[in-house]
Amino acid sequence: MHPISKAIRIHTDRTNEMEHSSPMFLTSSFCFDNSEDMRAAFADETDDNIYSRFSNPTVQEFVDRMVALEGAEAGYATSSGMSAIFASFMALLKKGDHLLSCNAIFGSTHTVITKILPKFGIEYTYVPADKPEEWEKAIQPNTKMFYIETPTNPGLEIVDLEAASNVCKKHNLLLNVDNCFATPVNQRPIDFGADLVVHSATKWIDGQGRVLGGVIVGKKALIHDIYLFCRSTGPALSAFNAWVLSKSLETLDVRMERHGGNALQLAKALEGHPKIKWLKYPFLASHPQHRIALKQMKNGGGIVCFELAGGLQSGKKFLDNLKMLSLTANLGDTKSIASHPASTTHAKLTEQERLAVNITPGLIRISVGLEHVDDIISDIRQALENC
C-alpha cells in the first residue's frame, strides 16, 4: 500500500461501538488483570500500555502514521517540536561529544545548541547550509551527529540530503533532519539516508493552528534510546493533541498540494515586483538550490519569502498594510500568515548576528494558506504599494 493510504488506514483498536473515526484514549494510566501481567509489562516483556508518559494508544496511532509516511522503523511523539529536537540531542549525545549543525536553523534550536548543550559539555560547530564542501572540514574525532533543517526557517535554504548522508556515512555520524517545512508528503529524508527525522507537528501536520506537538522517527535502536530518555524526563504528547494531529494526517497530502500550488502561484506573481529586492521559493528556477530542491522534494512547500527593497521600516509598514493576512508567530495554517523576523522573532539579535543567519532587514516570510490564491496575491500586492 502507498504510505499515504497506509497512514490514513492505520487505526487504534476499535471499541465495541465500531466507530469509523478513531476513539481518543484520554487516560493517564492503564489497568492490568493481575499482578503477573503488570510485572511483565514493567519488565518490558510485553508492550502493554502502563502510563501515558510512556505510551498511549492514541499517541501511538499518530506515531504509527508518521512512521508510515516517513518510511521509518519507529517513532516517539512529544509535546512540541522543540521537545522532540531536544530529546534527540540529549538521548544520543553525551559530555565530550561534538555536534555538527548547519547554521541556518530554527531560532529556538539555535538557542538549544549554543546555550543549553554546552552546559552539558556537548560542543558544536556551525557549517553553511549551502556549502557541502565545507562540512567535512569541520568534522572532529568526537563528532557524533550532523543536524540539518531543510528547507530552512525562515530563509528557505535547501540542504542537499544526499550529500549530507554521504558525509555522515563516511565519518560514521548520525544524520538528524528537521523535516518540518517540507512534511513527509513532500520530502522523505530517510529515503536519502537520514537516521532520524524530527518534526514540529504544530505547523503543517496540524495545519489548522490548534495544538502543539512534535515527533521523532527513525532507526529502531535510536528511537528506543530516545523513548527511554523521554519516558523518564516526561515530554510526552497529550492524548488529545495526538488525536487532533492523527486526524490531520488523513488530509496532509491534499492540504500540502494546495498550499504548495498557492505558494508557487504567489511566488510567480510577485517575482520581479519593483518593491521586492529578491524572492525565494524552492520550486522557482531562480532559487539558488533549485536543482537540489527538485531532486529531493515533491513540491516546493507552503512558504514564500522575499526581501523588501525598503529594508527594516518597509517590513513593519508592509505588515501594517495587510488587510487579510494574519500577523502571528505560527506558520502552516489554513489562514495565510505574514511575519517580519528582523522586528519580531530575531529582534534580540544584533544586525550582524541576524545577517550571519541570513535574516536580512526587509525579510518577509509568508505562510501561504488555503484561501483562494487570488485573494492572497491581491492582499500582498496592495500591501506592497506604499511600503
Ligand X SMILES: *Cc1c(COP(=O)(O)O)cnc(C)c1O
- Interface positions with ligand X (CB under 6 A): 80-82, 106, 108-109, 149, 153, 178, 180-181, 200, 202-203, 212, 214
Q: What's the N-to-C CA distance of the chain in angstroms? A: 51
Query: How many Cβ atoms sit within 10 Å of the Cβ of residue 93?
Result: 20
21 burial (CB, 10 Å; 0-12 / 13-18 / 19+) is exposed
Shortest approach of ligand X to residue 199 CB, angstroms? 8
Given the complex with ligand X, which of 56 and 179 has the nearer CB atom?
179
Given the complex with ligand X, which of 139 and 338 has the nearer CB atom?
338
> Nearest to residue 386, comparing CAs of 305, 274, 278?
274
Shortest approach of ligand X to residue 344 CB, angstroms? 14
Given the complex with ligand X, which of 58 and 179 has the nearer CB atom?
179
Q: Are 286 and 307 in contact (CB under 8 A)?
A: no
The residue at minimum Cβ distance from ligand X is 81
Shortest approach of ligand X to residue 85 CB, angstroms? 6
C-alpha cell at 43: 519488565
Contacts of 85 (CB under 8 A, 6+ apart): 109, 112, 178, 198, 214
Shortest approach of ligand X to residue 86 CB, angstroms? 9
Q: Phi and psi for 346 in degrees, rounded to 5?
A: -115, 20
Given the complex with ligand X, which of 182 and 384 has the nearer CB atom?
182
Given the complex with ligand X, which of 109 and 321 has the nearer CB atom?
109
Shortest approach of ligand X to residue 138 CB, angstroms? 22
Given the complex with ligand X, which of 153 and 176 has the nearer CB atom?
153
Shortest approach of ligand X to residue 239 CB, angstroms? 17
Q: List, in sequence order, every residue forming a beta bridge with 218; answer none if it has no partner.
A: 74, 196
Helix residue ranges per DSSP H, the chain:
3-9, 35-42, 57-70, 81-92, 107-111, 161-171, 220-233, 239-249, 252-270, 290-296, 311-321, 351-356, 373-385
